[in-house]
Amino acid sequence: MSTWWRSIASYPPSWVAIAAVLLAVLAILLLLEPSALFTVVVIAAGIVAIAVWPLMLAASGTLNRLQYQAPKLPEVSDGELRILKSELDRLEDPRPAYQLEAIGEKRDNLTSILDERLDAGELTYARYQSTAQQVYLAVISNLREVAIAKKSVSTINPDYIDARLAELQAEGSSDEETEITSLEDRRALAVTQDAKATYLLAQNESAMTLLDRTATALADAPIGIAPQDAEAAMEALEELADRASKYATP
Single out the residue of 15, 238, 13, 17 nearest to residue 132, CA to CA: 238
For residues 22 and 28, give the distance between their C-alpha atoms in angstroms, rounded to a whole number: 10
- CB-CB contact of 212 with 234 (8 Å): no
pLDDT of residue 134: 85
pLDDT of residue 86: 96
pLDDT of residue 250: 38
Is residue 69 packed enough to be buried (19+ CB in 10 Å), middle (13-18) or exposed (0-12)? middle
For residues 27 and 25, give the distance between their C-alpha atoms in angstroms, rounded to a whole number: 5
Please give the model's pTM, rounded to 2 decimal places: 0.65
Residues in the chain: 250
For residues 197 and 150, give the distance between their C-alpha atoms in angstroms, rounded to a whole number: 7
Axis-axis angle for helices 228-242, 177-219 (nearest 10): 150
Q: Angle at CA 152, nearest 5°, toward 148 and 157?
A: 135
Q: Angle at CA 97, nearest 5°, toward 158 and 86?
A: 85
pLDDT of residue 118: 77
pLDDT of residue 167: 86
Quick one: DSSP state of residue 11? -
- From first to last of its 250 residues, what are the pLDDT tens digits of the chain? 456 566 677 778 888 888 888 888 888 888 888 788 888 888 998 898 888 888 887 787 776 666 555 556 678 889 999 999 999 999 999 999 999 999 999 999 998 988 888 776 667 777 788 888 888 988 999 999 999 999 998 888 888 988 988 888 887 766 678 888 889 899 999 999 999 999 999 989 988 988 888 888 888 766 666 556 666 666 776 676 565 444 333 3
